[in-house]
Structure 1
Amino acid sequence: MSWLKKLIILVIAGAFSVVALVAASYWYVKDDLPSVATLKDVKLQTPMRVFSQDGELISQFGEKRRIPLTLEEMPDLLIKAVLATEDNRFYEHPGIDVIGMFRAATVVAFSGEAKQGASTITQQLARVFFLTREKKLIRKIKEIFLALRIEQELSKDEILELYLNKIELGQRSFGVGAAAQVYFGKNIQDLTLSEIAIIAGLPQGPSVLNPVRSPSRARARRNIVLGRMLNEGYITQAQYDEALQEPILSKLHGAQITASAPYIAEMVRQEVVDKYGEEEAYSKGFQVFTTVDSRLQGKAVAAVQKNVIGYDERHGYRGPVATLWQATAAPQADGSVKFVEKDRLSDEAILAYLDNQDGLEDLIPAVITEVTGQQAQAILSGGRKITLPWQGLNWARAFISHDRQSHPPKAAADVIAPGMHVLVRPAGGEWRLGQIPGVSAALVAINPKDGAVQALVGGYSFAMTQFNRATQANRQVGSNIKPFIYSAALESNLTLATLMNDAPIHEWDEGANQAWRPKNSPEVYDGAIRIREALAKSKNVVAVRLLRAVGIEKTRQHLTKFGFREKDLPHSETLALGSASLTPLELATGYAVFANGGYLVKPYVITKILDDQNNLIYEHVPVPVCSDCEQQDLAAKAAAAQAAKEAAALAESADAEALLEATFAEQTATTEQSPVTPTPAYAPRVISAQNAFLIADALKSSIWGGGDWKAGTGWNGTAYRLKELKRQDLSGKTGTTNDVKDAWFSGFSPELVVTSWVGFDDAESRLGKTAWNNNLGKDQVAGSESGAKTAMPAWQEFMGFALKDKPQIFVQPPVGITSVRIDLKTGLLTQATDNSSGFEFFIQGTEPKTYVNSSVQPLPTQNNQQQEEIELF
């Protein structure tokens, strides 16, 4: 028995030695061990996400990609795959796996190197949060004790959930939710078994085993994971066989953007970074909700891109991106053309070339392989072969300059040849030749009631340039300035019926030592013309005469009421022609004053910000229009004035006791009536309700014109094409700058204000003009570019969508507005009811007092103002 006793003594001694070693190890490292209690309130580093008002994802910002999920949101097969691969005894051990540790220790003993980690999921979690990946014994000891502590603080499910959300999985993805999006562009619930196995295999080597960097290694690792799942009974043999045969198709995917608003997203990013700093903005999981309506935003993007492409195509085709081989056209006896090709590339070489080419928006790189008659064949990246029909080629007459295009093509060979690298885009179920537009554009839509930005597009493509033309491009506004000039005229007691002299101006400018001759565009002059008609027809010389009547400085001060900076308003008569430089957002804000009845609203984009726990950390307090509140304020001021008057009367009577009683009663009443919460702020009134109404109504004539066409007196406004929308509640104004360098259209309904701009980023480039293309139909745009032809189509496309199926809203004239019948030629009162007359709105007291037939007595007036004569300024 002596050998048995010795064995028992040896075992006991060994056990005591192990305990002593563990105790000593713990004593040695205990002061360096962090508190694992922090894991109960761990804040996973998640990116900032930006949403539309209806919850669609606009963008995501942050170095680390993470989509936190609960264990219940993760597929059961994914959890089993990870357990089978990383720790199949996870729910059985106390945080460390003694068998695995013994196996790893044996390897170290025989090889002298730590080739196996034997780390459980709990140990890996400890390392991820508190330690490094270095393979040293002291790190392993710390890892073991931390794992034991973690198991005491958290449940198994909590540990597993934290691990699956925290683990690094390559390509800046952290957690299984982000990996599913990054590698496969899917929600985690939509992964196939093969894709699940790929993700489950990543923790052992995320940088080298991911399917983007090394599909072959990812495949080998996937097969190992599938084998372990099969051995554990998590999948059937049939599932295993099917997943084994599935090809690995992976590429890097960004966040699942469901609303295209990159310019809005960048505005939000800058604002949040300014507010919280980069570290918090990009890592705290902020959820930023914006004012953007995803439906309107999507239409805004589509309208701008369609409009830009339309402009670009009618000005001609600028040629292929590159030529890969030479193809010479050889005319045939039958009139056709055959190409003689030299050094033609093989299909394999073409595909290799296309793999390295980028598209833009819906423009896709292609190589022309064959041209016959009025069509062409092309090949896309990936090997897809397409046909370009004549309808996709017939627009492409050669570009000569912004003002000139070559002859319309008659055959495909007039446009393209084999070997050309071109861009194509899908259009109406067919393919169309395309090119990257050279022109720029912007569109912004705001709610005139509070300034909320409903949609904003800062250019054709954010990927092409991040410069936001809606907020950063200060461009001359042309005739878009005229409603504000006319508003200043109404403030000076002119009316919509006042006659102005629409005649050429010829004056010598001594400062410039040349004659200043502002002209109408087109150069048509009507002589005596009412202000309403002059605004609708956008008469330049009338705007100059109105500026003179009011005064330059007085007009500039009036324009600052609309939010325009004084420094942006020239101190010269060119102000009337739109020489001021403003951004589309500033211009839309100014037009909102007319739409909302005279109030200046401040545009805003962010409505609220939530943290990663859905706690509200910021909420924007809108500053809305509130006409009722204004009436209440007036009543309150009147009451306060009356109280002050009564108090003064008491003071004068030297009745001190009565004065004290009155003051005490007033303070008590004020205290009892004051709300607990502070009174919200409201948008300030900057022009009168009457002024805003008259300009908004006059701008309807830009669309609907006036007179009687049957009687030969009818006339159109510059925005007459908007009649197609068949809405009487729209107001709008075209804008075209000198030399047609900028084209504008701004307009509104009572609930939406929209400004559209088109121009080149090079402010010196002209938008030019186009000749008629016989290949195209009657709906094409030709002639000189202008606000109506160039900027208004995007506005019309967007507004038609935004107001579709919505009832018309007709604003009632405010108090102080009267309507009388006037003679349309003179603006005087009339009793005629034929096509020579019509009703006009006036601010009470400014309506004409004299009939066109002087034998008729004038109407009684409410004040002493008299209109003795018609003055032609």
Structure 2
Amino acid sequence: MLSIKNLLKVSLILLILVSIAVYSLYLSMRSDLPSVELLKDLHWQTPLQVYSQDGLLISQFGEKKRTPLTLEEVPQQLIDALLATEDDRFYLHFGVDPIGMGRAVLGKLMGQDKGGASTITMQVARNFFLTREVTYTRKIREIFLSFHIENLLSKDEILMLYINKIELGHRAFGFGAAAQVYYGKEIHELNLAQIAVLAGLPKAPSTLNPIRSPKRAQARRSVVLQRMLVSGYISDLQYQTAKNAPITGKRHGAEIELNAPYIAEMAHNEVLKRYGKDKAYTEGYKVFTTVTAKLQTAAEQALVNNLLNYDQRHGYRGPLSSLRPQVRSTDDTSEIQIVPLLQKELSKALSDATYYQMLEPAIVLAVEEKSVSIQLRNKVTATIKWQGLAWARPYINDQKQGRPPKTAKDILTYGDVILVSKMTDNNYRLGQLPTASAAIVSLSPNDGAIKAAVGGFSFKQSQFNRVTQAKRQVGSNIKPFIYSAALEHGFTLASLVNDAPINQWDKSSGVVWRPRNSPEKYVGLLRVRLALAQSKNVIAVRLLKSIGVTNTIKHLTTFGFNANDLPRNETLALGSASLTPLEVATGFAAFANGGFLVEPYLIQRIENSDGEIIYQADPAIACDPCIQTDLSDDTDQELDVLSNNIPDHNITIEDEQLSKQSEDDQTVEIKQASRIISPQNAFLITQALNSAIWGADWNTKHVWQGTGFRARTLKRRDIAGKTGTTNEAKDAWFSGFSRNIVTTSWIGFDDPRHILGQSVYNNNLGKNQTTGKEFGAKSAQPAWIDFMRIALADAEPEAFQPPVDIVSVRIDKTTGKLTTKTDKTSQFEYFRLGKVPTEYVTEDSSSEILSGGQQKEEEEELF
């Protein structure tokens, strides 16, 4: 036998030989080992997040879900769980745990998997630099890299790399993201049982997670808790409580605080264009948009409610499907017996049905005379009373509806799979997915900031954003721009134009073109203000003919419209041009802001993962002049914008923008938007558009009121707007504004074969229902009104102030000439200096006032 002395010598020699061999191996592999220096200045790959102006999360983009944590943010129980489970001697070893390694080698030799070979440091080396291939070469490289990491970083730094890097299933990387994915919580909000589940995931995240296998997750949690107990991190009471807790994990998306998918996608696309996919999805950019939760929510609610109202007054198209129950006949009778549907059939049908907005799937369980019983997805049963069913007469086509139902059996049968919505009184209403589409967009006319935008009923139903992508014929929404061109070519609001039929031979088509008014009524000579307020088609055509198609198009392109979208013929005056709702709203903004073209923008600023601003919007402001601002050195002094045309606006002042004015004051230039029309032109068109809402003359024989009169319900005199409907009512519009917000609402069908049609009276619904032919005021304006009611709620009325060189004089209503009378035959009218009438009326026209006639409730504005 070898003596102890000789044994020590042999061991020493073996140790030296092994060391030499390991060192030689290291030297041979050193050149192939990646540098771990990048860990000192690591940049986490985090997803793109989109926020509202008021800081609410709208959406998140990126394959990897990661929420980087600092050591201070990590609960101590999570650290304890990881150390107890993954590496209990982490703070004692030098990157490789000899005891654990020895146990693993011994286990291999004995044919048993003892585990324990990989320390947290080795896992960091593998996760950052290596693959998961099971080879001895990869393991040796992992060991060498661990030595480098331990030499470079502190133990706490290594631990944080592990906590933030480790893959934990369902695209969650790091424990911060895993807490959100599995529990929908911040990491500090988790209890011990939930922490133990997460701490057990690194072993096999795809099979041990609580979504894939709750039983395996529970078994793994028990192992983690047992090791924490043995290591002295938790008490026996804590162990028993956590061990017996239910497994509660389920899939959670990003914690969305504001549902605005169309806004999110608009911002997402802009970031992709600006930075490319590689940076957009990995750099952790935070994008702050210009929309606010209040206005965005109001816009979505207004659009959805208006579409549902339109859709339901045109009739019910039937259930999504019907679960046909089995039937059987007994031997001794011909009686048919309905076999009840099984719960698994109900659950499957409900899970297969899609949820849209507030419309959720349900199945009819019983049909009574005036009500139906239903089951919802959560197995809760409810009742739809008659008030939630009475609307559902059959849909026949866009123009016709069937007879109103008399009982619930006229509408539904047992087993029907339907959509329902919950009403404010907690009762349910039968619903259906609208086939029509809609869009609404609102922006600030002062700088173009988009305040709200909704591109359709449901992003889940269609990701096509009709705000920016749908070019639709604008109908009479084009008329304010035609009239603006007319004012530039010598017309005034008091100019008389002949409201009479036009019969014009078209050589190219070989037919007579006969544009017509809607309703088809003509009154002769009519003032321009009334013509625009009443949307007289033939007068718009006569104005365009007077100034010429080329001049008109030249004028319209200054509003940002593409000349290629403007037909070079006289149908342009009636709205044959195709524009997007955003383009229309941008054009109307020029009237609201006094004549400036603003550029719509959605992104206010972008921050990187460190909170540094890497992009700040610098919009041109609608101001004339954009006066330089005096700035005091006192940091508490607020920015004082010295211009009547500039609203409250967030202006970021960079050091290089400042020029020293004196020892105490500094100045900054504000970027000015391009002026496209004179302030006088903008004001006069606004006045006519105000008449489209508020204009009326109740003292004349033929009473008239503007086509947008329904907006009077807002009780705001400081608003203006214009309806619009195209041929066959395929598109309906309403665009309008106050001094500080402009909004466009559109409704129509994506399928051009459909028209908005008409609806007849439903005897079940009483007086407060919309009937007759669909057009701008009936179909699109309700959404505009509902939105503007919220948008203007906290805004003090701000009248449209006349600019310089605008005067007001009394004119005769019939002739537009000056008058000395102060009775019902006269009114005040605005004129530009130099355009004031010089001739006085000489005849008594009190009985011949050409007022345009009574507007019919079923009016269409066709061209």
TM-score if structure 1 supplies the norm length? Answer: 0.88
* Counterpart for residue 774 of structure 1: 763
Q: Deviations over 1:549-580 (max 9, x none)?
A: 22222111111111111111111111111111
* 1:685 matches 2:682: no
Residue type matched to 1:560 in 2? Answer: T
Equivalent of 2:407, from 411, 432, 437? 411
User: Counterpart of 2:707 in 1: which secondary structure?
Assistant: coil
- 1:22 and 1:244 mapped to 2: Cα distance? 44
Q: Deviations over 1:492-525 (max 9, x none)?
A: 1111111222222233333322222222112232
* Counterpart for residue 489 of structure 2: 492
User: Counterpart of 2:839 in 1: which secondary structure?
Assistant: coil
After TM superposition, list the pairs within 5 Å mapping 1:259-274 onto structure 2: 259-274=258-273
* Counterpart for residue 657 of structure 1: none
Percent identity between matched residues is 53
- 1:104 and 1:327 mapped to 2: Cα distance? 62
* Counterpart for residue 864 of structure 1: none
Q: Is 1:33–1:146's contact at 8 Å kept on the other side of the alignment?
A: yes
Q: Is 1:544–1:573's contact at 8 Å kept on the other side of the alignment?
A: yes
* Counterpart for residue 109 of structure 2: 109
Residue type matched to 1:733 in 2? Answer: K
Equivalent of 2:348, from 346, 352, 356? 352
Query: How far did residue 615 of structure 1 move?
Result: 2.7
Query: How far did residue 114 of structure 1 move?
Result: 6.7
Query: How far did residue 461 of structure 1 move?
Result: 1.0
* 1:373 matches 2:369: yes
Q: Deviations over 1:575-606 (max 9, x none)?
A: 11111110001101110110111111111112
- 1:631 and 1:619 mapped to 2: Cα distance? 20
* Counterpart for residue 582 of structure 1: 579
Query: How far did residue 827 of structure 1 move?
Result: 1.2
Query: How far did residue 297 of structure 1 move?
Result: 1.1
* Counterpart for residue 20 of structure 1: 20
- 2:491 and 2:525 mapped to 1: Cα distance? 15
Residue type matched to 2:372 in 1? Answer: A
* Counterpart for residue 208 of structure 1: 207
User: Counterpart of 1:422 in 2: which secondary structure?
Assistant: strand
| Compared CA separation, residues 516 and 389, structure 1 to 2 (3 A) | same
Q: Is 1:64–1:172's contact at 8 Å kept on the other side of the alignment?
A: yes
Structure 1 residues 721-730 or 512-521, which shifts more? 512-521
Q: Deviations over 1:329-383 (max 9, x none)?
A: xxxxxxxxxx976444212322133233322222212111111121111112232
Q: Deviations over 1:801-834 (max 9, x none)?
A: 0111210112321111000011122211112222
Structure 1 residues 272-281 or 727-736, which shifts more? 272-281
* Counterpart for residue 217 of structure 2: 218
Equivalent of 1:507, from 498, 504, 508? 504
- 1:520 and 1:357 mapped to 2: Cα distance? 46
* Counterpart for residue 697 of structure 1: 687
| Compared CA separation, residues 341 and 165, structure 1 to 2 (3 A) | farther
Query: How far did residue 4 of structure 1 move?
Result: 2.8
Q: Is 2:179–2:187's contact at 8 Å kept on the other side of the alignment?
A: yes
* Counterpart for residue 749 of structure 2: 760
Query: How far did residue 18 of structure 1 move?
Result: 4.1
Structure 1 residues 54-63 or 3-12, which shifts more? 3-12
- 2:168 and 2:709 mapped to 1: Cα distance? 59
Q: Is 2:745–2:781's contact at 8 Å kept on the other side of the alignment?
A: yes
- 2:309 and 2:543 mapped to 1: Cα distance? 37
* 1:4 matches 2:4: yes
Structure 1 residues 579-588 or 54-63, which shifts more? 54-63
- 1:254 and 1:508 mapped to 2: Cα distance? 63
Query: How far did residue 712 of structure 1 move?
Result: 5.5
Q: Is 1:700–1:732's contact at 8 Å kept on the other side of the alignment?
A: yes
- 1:540 and 1:313 mapped to 2: Cα distance? 31
* 1:829 matches 2:818: yes
- 1:177 and 1:631 mapped to 2: Cα distance? 47
RMSD: 2.4
* Counterpart for residue 859 of structure 1: none
- 1:716 and 1:797 mapped to 2: Cα distance? 21
Q: Is 1:327–1:340's contact at 8 Å kept on the other side of the alignment?
A: no
- 1:241 and 1:514 mapped to 2: Cα distance? 90
Structure 1 residues 512-521 or 410-419, which shifts more? 512-521
* 1:396 matches 2:392: yes
Q: Is 1:476–1:580's contact at 8 Å kept on the other side of the alignment?
A: yes
Structure 1 residues 350-359 or 762-771, which shifts more? 350-359
* Counterpart for residue 439 of structure 1: 436
Q: Deviations over 1:140-187 (max 9, x none)?
A: 222222222222222222222221111101111111111122222222
* Counterpart for residue 99 of structure 1: 99
* 1:846 matches 2:835: yes
* 1:625 matches 2:629: no
* Counterpart for residue 41 of structure 2: 41
After TM superposition, list the pairs within 5 Å mapping 1:311-326 onto structure 2: 311-326=310-325
Q: How many residues align?
A: 805
After TM superposition, list the pairs within 5 Å mapping 1:474-485 onto structure 2: 474-485=471-482
* Counterpart for residue 559 of structure 1: 556
User: Counterpart of 1:277 in 2: which secondary structure?
Assistant: helix
| Compared CA separation, residues 352 and 511, structure 1 to 2 (3 A) | closer
- 1:245 and 1:777 mapped to 2: Cα distance? 59
* 1:31 matches 2:20: no
- 2:479 and 2:201 mapped to 1: Cα distance? 64
| Compared CA separation, residues 387 and 227, structure 1 to 2 (3 A) | farther
| Compared CA separation, residues 672 and 823, structure 1 to 2 (3 A) | same
Q: Is 2:326–2:339's contact at 8 Å kept on the other side of the alignment?
A: no
| Compared CA separation, residues 453 and 340, structure 1 to 2 (3 A) | farther
- 2:840 and 2:50 mapped to 1: Cα distance? 62
* Counterpart for residue 731 of structure 2: 742
- 1:373 and 1:245 mapped to 2: Cα distance? 50
- 2:8 and 2:277 mapped to 1: Cα distance? 64
* Counterpart for residue 570 of structure 1: 567
* Counterpart for residue 72 of structure 2: 72
Q: Is 2:373–2:382's contact at 8 Å kept on the other side of the alignment?
A: yes
Q: Is 1:502–1:527's contact at 8 Å kept on the other side of the alignment?
A: yes
- 2:2 and 2:321 mapped to 1: Cα distance? 93
Q: Is 1:25–1:141's contact at 8 Å kept on the other side of the alignment?
A: no
User: Counterpart of 1:496 in 2: which secondary structure?
Assistant: coil
- Give unmatched runs, 5+ long, in structure 2: 328-334, 630-658, 845-863
Structure 1 residues 1-10 or 757-766, which shifts more? 1-10
* 1:523 matches 2:520: yes
Query: How far did residue 237 of structure 1 move?
Result: 3.4
- 1:464 and 1:715 mapped to 2: Cα distance? 42
* Counterpart for residue 787 of structure 1: 776
Q: Is 2:400–2:758's contact at 8 Å kept on the other side of the alignment?
A: yes
* 1:189 matches 2:188: yes
TM-score if structure 2 supplies the norm length? Answer: 0.89
Q: Is 1:180–1:191's contact at 8 Å kept on the other side of the alignment?
A: yes
Q: Is 2:621–2:670's contact at 8 Å kept on the other side of the alignment?
A: no
- 2:792 and 2:242 mapped to 1: Cα distance? 50
Residue type matched to 1:682 in 2? Answer: Q
* Counterpart for residue 637 of structure 2: none
Q: Deviations over 1:105-149 (max 9, x none)?
A: 1112222x8773521111111110011222222222222222222
Residue type matched to 1:686 in 2? Answer: I
Query: How far did residue 608 of structure 1 move?
Result: 2.3
Residue type matched to 2:264 in 1? Answer: A
- 2:337 and 2:719 mapped to 1: Cα distance? 58
- 1:691 and 1:355 mapped to 2: Cα distance? 58
Structure 1 residues 507-516 or 756-765, which shifts more? 507-516
- 2:507 and 2:166 mapped to 1: Cα distance? 76
- 1:394 and 1:226 mapped to 2: Cα distance? 59
Residue type matched to 1:275 in 2? Answer: R
* Counterpart for residue 83 of structure 2: 83
- 1:341 and 1:412 mapped to 2: Cα distance? 21
Q: Is 1:260–1:301's contact at 8 Å kept on the other side of the alignment?
A: no
- 1:520 and 1:127 mapped to 2: Cα distance? 76
Residue type matched to 1:431 in 2? Answer: Y
| Compared CA separation, residues 281 and 547, structure 1 to 2 (3 A) | same
- 2:241 and 2:394 mapped to 1: Cα distance? 54
